[in-house]
Amino acid sequence: MIICFDIGGSAIKGAVTHSPERIFPLPRRTTPLDDFRGFVETLESVVDEAGGLPDRIAISITGVIDPETRRIKCANIPCIDRRELAAELEAALHLPVIIANDADCFALAEAGVGAGRAHRIVFGAILGTGVGGGLVVDGRLINADGGFAGEWGHGPVVAAKAGDPAIAIPLFDCGCGQRGCVDTVGGARGLERLHETVHGKTLSSHEIIEAWQAGSEEAARTIDVFVDLLSSPLALVINITGATIVPVGGGLSNAQALLAEIDRRVRSRILRRFDRPLVVPGECRLEPGLIGAALLGFERRGA
């Protein structure tokens, strides 16, 4: 038995799993943001509720584990930021602990039981509030020991002009400390920022997409710029990794017409030609973090 967790800045989701196909979610808990002892006790309460002694704990979490220092960088949960989290949790819970980034766990879930299950190289892209990603090759997560592979949302790569006809795009400041990152113009907040930049109007990402699908010329212009800016960096990721499928998660993955437009543009910009969709909605619609954590846990147990 493995206890798996999907931990974000708002909630801790736990589950009991006896195999990757049998995952039984437990009630959610609120994430303690500023109390590490409370954070540990919350995990303990889930383990106690599960009953029995698990083989290990597998965690999908917001944040990135530095593969050299083993410390986590997690701005969303201050009480765990910069801690050697796996080691500290192992000491507190007296169980082996595996931790992976939530985008990595999404990619692993899609590669294992989702849209990428028939593919050797799967790049899982997140288009949520911002932009993230993870890479799985031959069923194994590249970041199994931590690391930053797949973080295509960061780096000063955004084009200075976009759309047809092209318009100038300012280099927006990114939370990572750089300017002109894909994260600043991708995802829901990026779409909203672009709409305000192009039209001087504030709309939510849902409103922009709804207006576009209803035939709004303003929204169509924003979507054109958004897709143009997003597609070239994603095409480069595909060229570099050799991915043959890109399952997409996050809130914008629910807009299938938007993904279809991204897919069309991306396939026109990559070296290899595909006569089928490449950028597709993820199939693990319910709890991909828990599924990915479970897969990682069973992989390590069998190692």
- pLDDT tens-digit map of 208-267: 999 999 999 999 999 999 999 999 999 999 999 999 999 999 999 999 999 999 999 999
Cα 175 to Cα 149, 155, 170, 183, 293: the distances in Å are: 18, 11, 16, 9, 27
What is the model's pLDDT at position 184? 96
Question: How confident is residue 89, by pLDDT bands cut at 50, 70 and 90?
Answer: very high
Q: What is the mean pLDDT of residues 158-179?
A: 93
Cα dihedral: 80, 86, 90, 95 (round 10): 120
What is the model's pLDDT at position 75? 86
Q: What is the mean pLDDT of residues 61-81?
A: 92
Domains with residue ranges and CATH for the chain: 2-104+286-302 (3.30.420.40), 117-281 (3.30.420.40)
What is the model's pLDDT at position 278? 98
**The token pair that represents 20 in the structure block:** 């990757």
The answer to whether residues 91 and 42 touch, using CB atoms and an 8 Å cutoff, is: no
Residue 300 predicted with pLDDT over 80: no
What is the model's pLDDT at position 20? 76
Q: What is the mean pLDDT of residues 175-194?
A: 94
More confident residue, 53 or 61: 61
What is the model's pLDDT at position 18? 87
Q: Provide φ and ψ at 302, rounded to 5°.
A: -85, -5
Question: How confident is residue 303, by pLDDT bands cut at 50, 70 and 90?
Answer: low
Least confident of 48-57, 213-222, 265-274: 48-57
The answer to whether residues 67 and 97 touch, using CB atoms and an 8 Å cutoff, is: no
Q: Is residue 140 classed as helix, strand or coil in its secondary structure?
A: strand
Q: What is the mean pLDDT of residues 150-175?
A: 93
Q: What is the mean pLDDT of residues 99-108?
A: 95
CA dihedral (149, 152, 156, 159) positive or negative = positive
Q: What is the mean pLDDT of residues 126-153?
A: 92
Residue 147 predicted with pLDDT over 90: no
- Cα 261-199-154 angle, rounded to 5 deg: 55
Query: What percentage of the chain reaches a pLDDT higher than 70?
Result: 99
Residue 1 predicted with pLDDT over 60: yes
Residue with tokens 């305000």: 196
What is the model's pLDDT at position 302? 57
Residue ranges of E strands in the chain? 2-7, 11-19, 22-25, 29-30, 56-61, 64-65, 72-73, 97-101, 121-127, 131-137, 140-141, 161-162, 167-168, 246-249, 279-281
Query: What percentage of the chain reaches a pLDDT higher than 90?
Result: 86
Average pLDDT, the chain: 94
What is the model's pLDDT at position 301? 66
- The Cα–Cα gap between 208 and 216 comes to 9
